[in-house]
Amino acid sequence: MITFEHVTKTYPGQKRPALHDVSATIDDGEFVFLVGPSGSGKSTFLRLVLREYRATEGSVVVNGRDVGKLRNWRIPKLRRNVGIVFQDFRLLPGKTVSENVAFTLQVIGRPSRDIRTLVPETLELVGLADKGDRLPEELSGGEQQRVAIARAFVNRPGILLADEPTGNLDPVTSVGIMKVFDRIHRDGTTVLMATHDATIVDQMRRRVLELHSGELVRDQAQGVYGYQ
Ligand SMILES: Nc1ncnc2c1ncn2[C@@H]1O[C@H](COP(=O)(O)OP(=O)(O)OP(=O)(O)O)[C@@H](O)[C@H]1O
């Protein structure tokens, strides 16, 4: 569960807050779109969940813990349970697809027998069972995004965040990527996705949180994109 209680975030040196008095609860297993114009605070919202930043006021509670109060040594444990996918994939260029996905598990010290089963299982889940030996540069944008999803999900986090995951992809490829997120969500994972992709939001009809200038202006079940 993710709970924002009266969260305000003002970046150092800025007068206007990036988020202002935002309160919302996202239950386990929900699929939520975060929409709003450029600069409205969507990425800031995601970064607060990951404790990349702390709220200036209010609290962000993730799985029962106030992440603003976490000691630094506990942050890796939080991030093990919160995967993230970005618009620009961010894969390691010199490593194969399998190595990119395995890397997440190696960093947290998972034994190699787990890695040997989890990596192919996860590549299969994202539709890349036969591409494990390729390098990222040998893949299409959509395939690279599937690798990034596999890397974020290989440790089976309870929460998967995505920051404009279809922003670099054409509409047909984007639909394929959304099917992967949908599959992961149907297996019980909470998905929170910031997006500018009106078509996808309107097609999927999930809960929509809309931000404008840092304020939460809409929280709609089975919502639509809803603004220009
Ligand atoms: N590290 C930072 N330092 C100072 N200001 C920042 C920082 N990061 C974001 N901001 C400001 O905070 C506000 C919200 O930015 P944020 O990136 O959260 O918006 P966004 O909705 O994700 O935008 P986009 O859709 O363009 O990605 C903007 O005014 C932005 O300029």
Region 181-195: mean pLDDT is 97
> Is the domain of 219 the same as that of 169?
yes
Does residue 130 contact residue 138 with C-beta atoms inside 8 Å?
Answer: no
Looking at 98, 121, 156, which one is the last position of a domain? 156
> Is the domain of 93 the same as that of 120?
yes
Share of the chain above pLDDT 90, in %: 99
CA–centroid distance, 198 to ligand 1, in Å, is 20
Tell me the per-residue pLDDT of 144-167, one tens digit each, with 9 for 90 and over. 999 999 999 999 999 999 999 999
> Is the domain of 76 the same as that of 165?
yes
Task: Please tell me the pTM assigned to this model.
Answer: 0.96
> Is the domain of 46 the same as that of 21?
yes
Cα dihedral 114→120→124→125 (10° resolution): 30
The pLDDT value recorded for residue 227 is 77
> Is the domain of 93 the same as that of 138?
yes
> Is the domain of 59 the same as that of 46?
yes
Which three-class secondary structure state does DSSP give residue 194? strand
Looking at 156, 178, 205, which one is the last position of a domain? 156
CA–centroid distance, 210 to ligand 1, in Å, is 15
> Is the domain of 104 the same as that of 200?
no
- Tell me the pLDDT of the chain averaged across its residues: 97
> Is the domain of 166 the same as that of 148?
no
> Is the domain of 31 the same as that of 140?
no
Q: Which of 4, 11, 46 maximizes ligand 1 atoms within 8 Å of its Cβ, making it the mutation to test the pocket?
A: 11
Domain count, the chain: 2
Q: What is each CA distance from 181 to 17, 175, 187, in whole angstroms?
A: 31, 10, 10
**Which protein residues are within 6 Å of ligand 1, measured from CB?**
11, 14, 18, 36, 38-44
> Is the domain of 77 the same as that of 168?
yes
CATH assignment at residue 24: 3.40.50.300
Sheet containing strand 31-35, edge to edge, reads: 82-86, 159-163, 190-194, 31-35, 207-212, 215-220
CA-nearest residue for atom 18, ligand 1, is 41
> Is the domain of 143 the same as that of 43?
no
Q: Is residue 5 pLDDT above 90, yes or no?
A: yes
What's the complex ipTM?
Answer: 0.96
Q: Is residue 228 pLDDT above 90, yes or no?
A: no
Give the other-Cβ count within 10 Å of 227's Cβ: 12
The pLDDT value recorded for residue 93 is 95
Does residue 43 contact residue 218 with C-beta atoms inside 8 Å?
Answer: no
Q: Is residue 13 pLDDT above 80, yes or no?
A: yes
Looking at 100, 134, 156, which one is the last position of a domain? 156
> Is the domain of 104 the same as that of 140?
yes
β partners of residue 163:
86, 194
* Structural domain span for residue 93: 89-156
